[in-house]
């Protein structure tokens, strides 16, 4: 019987989301008949490594989100221990977590993406971009820290109270339909459209995780040709990072072009999360999705 270690929790800002992903995954693994071990990842990574060496799992199912679990650090540890793990490897994880690197990779591969600049907040400068614009932390997920700025007074206030390091990215604000694509093992599974309530300017943390704040339409109500273009654009993004396993590509659609916002190498993972919803629309149950991810787990 395979022994599967599920990494969850952690000490980052996305701990609560990770706990939900991990608990759902543990239930699925139990249903599949594997031996499962829950590991709430501590801040002391030496202790974490020693624990894994003692447990000797056959596979690690990574349900961590954000820093530590999604930025290549955990992946590097698992590579060193030679324990196969789910989702992408070190380089893809590290690059996709960094929104500035993500923008540069998309531009280098000719993948449509909103105009973006990097700003050093200690320079006391106004971004050279037309209002409104979007301000994002460089290394956070789940829409944490993202703001739509509509005035330079608002920018100054945000700059003074910034809590995510000395730099940020500033991105052109595009008010288009939000379409996401889930990809599993280099195959686009399908689309979902996210429709936040009118009170939201974008798909915020609250819009993502509070029941009733957004409507999800799966598959997205777009034409066959538009669906093909969405899948092709998302696959180009996935391949430009050399991803593997499950990922989700978030895009904005203006009716002609899909603009890629970001690539999530560790997307939310409960039965009602976006990627599992897309998989379900294609006849892949949550348990089967978990099983497929376990089967394709590997090291770099």
* Catalytic positions: 14, 142, 209, 248, 250, 262, 264, 268
Please check whether residue 192 is in contact with residue 139, taking contact to mean a CB–CB distance below 8 angstroms.
no
Contacts with 189 (C-beta within 8 Å, 6 or more apart), sequence order:
181, 182, 183, 275, 278, 279, 282, 284
Q: Measure the CA–CA gap between 117 and 119, rounded to whole angstroms.
A: 6
Q: For 164-272, where are the E strands, in sequence order?
A: 167-172, 177-184, 187-196, 214-217, 246-253, 258-264
Tokens matching residue 215: 């409507």
* 3-state SS, residue 184: strand
- Residue whose entry in the numeric block shows the structure tokens 């000719």: 110
Q: Measure the CA–CA gap between 28 and 112, rounded to whole angstroms.
A: 37
Please check whether residue 105 is in contact with residue 241, taking contact to mean a CB–CB distance below 8 angstroms.
yes
Taking 3-state DSSP, the helix, strand and coil percentages for the chain, each rounded to the nearest 5, stand at 35, 25, 40
At residue 206's C-alpha, the angle toward residues 216 and 179, to 5°, is 35
Q: Pick from 262, 251, 233, 236: which is nearest to 143 by CA?
A: 262
């Amino acid at each position: 019987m395979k022994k599967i270690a599920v990494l969850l929790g952690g000490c980052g800002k996305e701990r609560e989301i990770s706990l939900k992903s991990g608990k759902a995954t543990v239930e699925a693994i139990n249903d599949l008949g594997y031996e499962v071990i829950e590991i709430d990842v501590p801040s002391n990574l030496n202790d974490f490594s020693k624990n894994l060496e003692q447990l000797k799992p056959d596979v690690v199912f990574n349900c961590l989100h954000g820093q530590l679990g999604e930025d290549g650090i955990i992946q590097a540890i698992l590579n060193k221990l030679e324990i196969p793990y789910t989702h992408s490897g070190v380089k893809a994880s590290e690059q996709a977590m960094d929104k500035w690197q993500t923008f540069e990779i998309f531009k280098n591969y000719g993948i449509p993406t909103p105009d973006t600049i990097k700003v050093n907040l200690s320079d006391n400068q106004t971004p050279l971009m037309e209002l409104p614009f979007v301000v994002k932390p460089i290394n956070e997920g789940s829409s944490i820290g993202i703001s739509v700025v509509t005035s330079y007074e608002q920018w100054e206030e945000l700059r003074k109270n910034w809590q995510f390091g000395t730099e940020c990215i500033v991105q052109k604000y595009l008010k288009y339909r939000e379409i996401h694509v889930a990809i599993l093992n280099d195959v686009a599974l399908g689309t979902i459209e996210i429709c936040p309530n009118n009170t939201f300017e974008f798909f915020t943390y609250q819009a993502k995780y509070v029941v009733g704040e957004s409507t999800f339409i799966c598959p997205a109500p777009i034409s066959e040709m538009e669906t093909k273009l969405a899948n092709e654009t998302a696959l180009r993004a996935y391949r430009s990072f050399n991803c593997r396993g499950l990922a989700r590509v978030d895009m904005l659609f203006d009716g002609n072009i899909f603009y890629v916002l970001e690539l999530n190498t560790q997307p939310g993972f409960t039965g009602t999360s976006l990627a599992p919803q897309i998989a379900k629309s294609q006849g892949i149950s949550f348990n089967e999705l978990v099983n497929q991810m376990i089967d394709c787990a590997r090291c770099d």
